A and B are shown apart, each in its own frame.
Chain A
């Protein structure tokens, strides 16, 4: 999700080899296995005592069910299955007996080891848990074996485990369920030996997605929107039309007449809330409210004005984020210079399930039901609004109907809204805050808009010699609790990720960042800064290749092969070449595009995963382009579930495609112009290209898969359009120029 998390990843302590394992008798007399965290992690988890550091991940019950507790939110990216796969492999469980369950909110037990708090993002779910969940599985296995050895009076070493069954050469055998209670009484092994990769039975091969059966039958209580508590009220909030607006006055006479409406009141700073006995009356009443807004302190600029201001800033010097050699001087003397100014719009996440949250406040305790993406922030926020201790906030996590970054924000606005409504209502009654699609589209927390101005210089031999890159983009992190980590000397790492690690061989690089202040709340959006930076870098590389009269792949290879003077960049380039070569082979790049088809390529690293994509497009009679086919090669280290990695690439490509083809959030006098899927056009099945994905075999530590498929699709399509038209679209979305 963000560069910040990568930075935290490099500084956060990893679980040490001396992590010791601990056991307690769990529910129903079964096993609860956890890995105790080393002391340094204990400090990271806010104020947790040593006893609370016990981390339960695995439950085995006498009914022979193995339940894996998922400390992360699964919003479609498949980590519930991924983490269960890690446990099942070491445990030698059978897929049929494995279940996934969301862990409660408790940072002392369930923190993201890269973050130090409980939360999901940055494509880290597998990466931070890879050793932790395998150890939990191995520990459970060792204790089951020890219990069987006791029961059968044989040595542990004589017992084998396969697909959920313990057996001995004498013919004795038992299921996990039969041995669970006895195993719970066994001593916890101080050390467990993890399998060698060649012994993995599921990792790198496959495991059925545990959430899919329920998701094909419309099972109840799956998503946040499905929550139905006894005596529950539904709240719908009418939010200000301009960000920072306030309620001046309102008339709810007509709205109150709607059958089912219970109350309507001002939620200071947030809008006007309608409470009703069910959803439809609340939505209907919201539409009947007459509200006068005070926009005196609001952001009332229009998008056009903002872009003018951004473009003006892009002409001026700004804070420097990278400075190698002397780019300015080398550009003066370059044989060829290519330059461009790019415009990126605000984007909404547009997940299928709008924001939703159910809260029940009882005295000094609160219980929440929703797709919780950043439990620790959410707990603290609810506690703060309600004036109760943080540990008194319980969270029940449900599957997220998508998120793409939307379900967590620094200020946890959705938590603040729901808790504020509950506080004003005052009665101990569950309240479900539902965003309509229109609310969701207009509530802000967008991918930031931005302007990039770039000049690239080549020498007479067609080699890149200089790159000057100026970014104008609103900061995600400034003014948040993460500012001290993520913003250094005025540079927000999320604005420059994907270009500050520019690794094509080049001696002179100069990068600057302006971070204008705008009153529109912005947020990470699937791959955060990378959709903008990958688009700019990879389309400019194509332009440079054209200036050098080189094939785009040949030009990339030349600049990825040459030594850069940086070991980090050389290592990146080796893996970039790996995926580039693979996608070139898959697509038959060297044979050229079929008649009436045009191809473009892009390669990009994000979240430590390397992805190359080739897009093939055709032109319709009206001048718009159809993306016909995409080939994708991905190197994410060990792919725990390769088919799920493929699914994430397919989905990441489709998600990125909608954005570059059609999507923009625009403002008129501060009011968002779009409101629903009629004006914020989603990708539909007829827009979806054929997609072929190959996963590079790798023994490297697993990295992320949820986000890295998205950044390369924009530039790959733009480069294919360049192949057809001779120019790269510099203003997104492509529909603006009649290209989509």
Chain B
């Protein structure tokens, strides 16, 4: 049994220790908000937060997350997350939406660290999160809006 803490809850799963966290979340814990996109940490669709840091769950072995706190799209909350999700809705950011869980987790982590990001900060923080619908234009605008909301 491997123990992990997801969205504040302690969970136990019976899987091979080398199983990526992504598949534990999706298949064992039935939390499918975290997406499979590439399996090689090249697209960011599987982004979760590990102790607040954006982490690619497809390249994170479940045995390596014991003792950490994992946050997924299903559990992300707080000032930055609320502001980001509200801005995503205001700007109708998602198109197909498949990458957006990862985008939101990455944007939330950015704003928690850097409440007033520049465009360059945004590019640097979000570069690992691919959107094939190319909603980047709105992602950038929504992050700025979320930043303003948090300030206000």
Chain A positions near chain B (C-beta within 8 angstroms) = 75-78, 208-209, 211-223, 225-226, 228, 234, 259, 278-281, 283, 350-354, 399-404, 436-438, 643-644, 647-648, 650-651, 653-655, 657-658, 676-678, 682-686, 688, 690-691
**Is there an interface contact between B45 and A352, defined as CB atoms closer than 8 Å?**
yes
Residues in B neighbouring A658, C-beta threshold 8 A: 132, 134
Residues in B neighbouring A283, C-beta threshold 8 A: 39
Residues in B neighbouring A682, C-beta threshold 8 A: 43, 130, 132
Is B55 interfacial (CB-CB < 8 Å)? no
Known: A401-B99, A683-B136. 16 other contacts (CB 8 A): A215-B94, A218-B73, A218-B74, A220-B33, A228-B30, A278-B23, A279-B23, A279-B26, A350-B132, A353-B35, A647-B95, A650-B134, A654-B133, A677-B40, A677-B130, A685-B126
Q: A76-B133, A223-B98 are in contact. Are A676 and B138 (CB under 8 A)?
A: no
Q: State which of A213, A219, A654 has its C-beta within 8 Å of the C-beta of B136.
A: A654
**Is there an interface contact between A216 and B104, defined as CB atoms closer than 8 Å?**
yes
A to B CB contacts below 8 Å, 12 in the list: A76-B94, A216-B93, A216-B94, A216-B104, A278-B23, A279-B27, A352-B98, A353-B35, A650-B137, A676-B38, A677-B38, A685-B139
Write the nearest CB–CB distance from A396 to chain B, whole angstroms: 16
**Is there an interface contact between B95 and A78, defined as CB atoms closer than 8 Å?**
yes
Which chain B residues in 81-111 approach chain A with CB under 8 Å? 85, 88-89, 92-101, 104
Q: How far is the CA of A688 from the CA of B133 in the complex (A)?
A: 11
Q: A218-B73, A226-B32 are in contact. Are A401 and B96 (CB under 8 A)?
A: yes
Write the nearest CB–CB distance from A163 to chain B, whole angstroms: 20
Which chain B residues in 12-56 approach chain A with CB under 8 Å? 15-16, 19-20, 23, 26-28, 30-40, 42-43, 45
Shortest 9 CB-CB distances between A and B: which pairs? A218-B33, A654-B134, A76-B96, A401-B98, A215-B97, A218-B73, A76-B95, A688-B136, A280-B23
Q: State which of A211, A259, A280, A354 has its C-beta within 8 Å of the C-beta of B94.
A: A211
Q: How far is the CA of A436 from the CA of B29 in the complex (A)?
A: 21
Q: How far is the CA of A216 from the CA of B89 in the complex (A)?
A: 7
Is B122 interfacial (CB-CB < 8 Å)? yes
**Is there an interface contact between A685 and B127, defined as CB atoms closer than 8 Å?**
yes
Residues in A neighbouring B16, C-beta threshold 8 A: 259, 280-281
Is B140 interfacial (CB-CB < 8 Å)? yes
Write the nearest CB–CB distance from A121 to chain B, whole angstroms: 15
**Is there an interface contact between B43 and A219, defined as CB atoms closer than 8 Å?**
no
Write the nearest CB–CB distance from B50 to chain A, whole angstroms: 17
**Is there an interface contact between B92 and A643, defined as CB atoms closer than 8 Å?**
yes
Write the nearest CB–CB distance from A235 to chain B, whole angstroms: 14
Q: How far is the CA of A223 from the CA of B99 in the complex (A)?
A: 11
**Is there an interface contact between A352 and B99, defined as CB atoms closer than 8 Å?**
yes
Residues in B neighbouring A225, C-beta threshold 8 A: 32, 35-36, 98
Is B147 interfacial (CB-CB < 8 Å)? no
Residues in A neighbouring B15, C-beta threshold 8 A: 280
Residue of A nearest to B75 (CB): A218
Q: State which of B19, B20, B38, B135 has its C-beta within 8 Å of the C-beta of A650.
A: B135
* Residue of B26, B30, B98, B127 with most partner-chain A CB within 10 A: B98
Q: State which of B45, B73, B94, B127 has its C-beta within 8 Å of the C-beta of A684.
A: B127
Q: How far is the CA of A611 from the CA of B23 in the complex (A)?
A: 43
Write the nearest CB–CB distance from A80 to chain B, whole angstroms: 11
Q: How far is the CA of A685 from the CA of B44 in the complex (A)?
A: 12
**Is there an interface contact between B94 and A353, defined as CB atoms closer than 8 Å?**
no
Residues in B neighbouring A223, C-beta threshold 8 A: 35, 98
**Is there an interface contact between B42 and A677, defined as CB atoms closer than 8 Å?**
yes
Write the nearest CB–CB distance from A446 to chain B, whole angstroms: 15
Residues in A neighbouring B30, C-beta threshold 8 A: 220, 228
Residue of B nearest to A682 (CB): B130
Q: State which of A352, A400, A650 has its C-beta within 8 Å of the C-beta of B43.
A: A352
Residues in B neighbouring A279, C-beta threshold 8 A: 23, 26-27, 36
Residues in B neighbouring A644, C-beta threshold 8 A: 92
Residues in A neighbouring B42, C-beta threshold 8 A: 676-678
**Is there an interface contact between B96 and A678, defined as CB atoms closer than 8 Å?**
no
**Is there an interface contact between B130 and A684, defined as CB atoms closer than 8 Å?**
yes
**Is there an interface contact between A685 and B19, defined as CB atoms closer than 8 Å?**
no
Q: How far is the CA of A283 from the CA of B130 in the complex (A)?
A: 22
Residues in B neighbouring A399, C-beta threshold 8 A: 96-97
Write the nearest CB–CB distance from B142 to chain A, whole angstroms: 10
Is B123 interfacial (CB-CB < 8 Å)? yes
**Is there an interface contact between B27 and A352, defined as CB atoms closer than 8 Å?**
no
**Is there an interface contact between B100 and A216, defined as CB atoms closer than 8 Å?**
yes
Residues in B neighbouring A75, C-beta threshold 8 A: 96
**Is there an interface contact between B20 and A651, defined as CB atoms closer than 8 Å?**
no
Residues in B neighbouring A208, C-beta threshold 8 A: 89, 92
Residues in A neighbouring B6, C-beta threshold 8 A: none
Q: A218-B34, A654-B136 are in contact. Are A77 and B95 (CB under 8 A)?
A: yes
Residues in B neighbouring A686, C-beta threshold 8 A: 123, 127
Residues in A neighbouring B74, C-beta threshold 8 A: 217-218
**Is there an interface contact between B43 and A402, defined as CB atoms closer than 8 Å?**
no
**Is there an interface contact between A651 and B95, defined as CB atoms closer than 8 Å?**
yes
Q: A217-B85, A220-B32 are in contact. Are A436 and B92 (CB under 8 A)?
A: no
Write the nearest CB–CB distance from B137 to chain A, whole angstroms: 5
Write the nearest CB–CB distance from A373 to chain B, whole angstroms: 13
Residues in B neighbouring A404, C-beta threshold 8 A: 132
Residue of A nearest to B95 (CB): A76
**Is there an interface contact between A685 and B122, defined as CB atoms closer than 8 Å?**
yes
Q: How far is the CA of A279 from the CA of B31 in the complex (A)?
A: 14
**Is there an interface contact between B92 and A218, defined as CB atoms closer than 8 Å?**
no
Q: State which of B23, B33, B36, B138 has its C-beta within 8 Å of the C-beta of A217.
A: B33
Write the nearest CB–CB distance from A221 to chain B, whole angstroms: 8
Write the nearest CB–CB distance from B31 to chain A, whole angstroms: 8
Residues in B neighbouring A438, C-beta threshold 8 A: 39
**Is there an interface contact between A688 and B137, defined as CB atoms closer than 8 Å?**
yes
**Is there an interface contact between A677 and B133, defined as CB atoms closer than 8 Å?**
no
Q: A350-B132, A655-B132 are in contact. Are A690 and B137 (CB under 8 A)?
A: yes
Residues in A neighbouring B131, C-beta threshold 8 A: 352, 685
* Residue of B20, B134, B140 with most partner-chain A CB within 10 A: B134
Q: A650-B134, A650-B138, A686-B127 are in contact. Are A402 and B98 (CB under 8 A)?
A: yes
**Is there an interface contact between B97 and A211, defined as CB atoms closer than 8 Å?**
yes
Residues in A neighbouring B43, C-beta threshold 8 A: 352, 437, 677, 682
**Is there an interface contact between B134 and A651, defined as CB atoms closer than 8 Å?**
yes
Q: How far is the CA of A158 from the CA of B31 in the complex (A)?
A: 52
Residues in A neighbouring B35, C-beta threshold 8 A: 223, 225, 352-353, 401
Residues in A neighbouring B123, C-beta threshold 8 A: 685-686
* Residue of B35, B95, B104, B140 with most partner-chain A CB within 10 A: B95
Residues in A neighbouring B36, C-beta threshold 8 A: 225, 279, 354
Residues in A neighbouring B33, C-beta threshold 8 A: 217-220
Residue of B nearest to A679 (CB): B42
Q: How far is the CA of A636 from the CA of B10 in the complex (A)?
A: 53
Residue of B nearest to A690 (CB): B137
**Is there an interface contact between A651 and B27, defined as CB atoms closer than 8 Å?**
no
Residue of A nearest to B96 (CB): A76
Q: How far is the CA of A691 from the CA of B27 in the complex (A)?
A: 39
Residues in B neighbouring A77, C-beta threshold 8 A: 95
Write the nearest CB–CB distance from A691 to chain B, whole angstroms: 5
Q: How far is the CA of A369 from the CA of B40 in the complex (A)?
A: 27
**Is there an interface contact between B92 and A647, defined as CB atoms closer than 8 Å?**
yes
**Is there an interface contact between B23 and A353, defined as CB atoms closer than 8 Å?**
no
Write the nearest CB–CB distance from A290 to chain B, whole angstroms: 20
Residues in A neighbouring B100, C-beta threshold 8 A: 215-216
Residues in A neighbouring B27, C-beta threshold 8 A: 228, 234, 278-280
**Is there an interface contact between A212 and B88, defined as CB atoms closer than 8 Å?**
yes
**Is there an interface contact between B92 and A222, defined as CB atoms closer than 8 Å?**
no
Residues in A neighbouring B104, C-beta threshold 8 A: 216
Write the nearest CB–CB distance from B91 to chain A, whole angstroms: 9
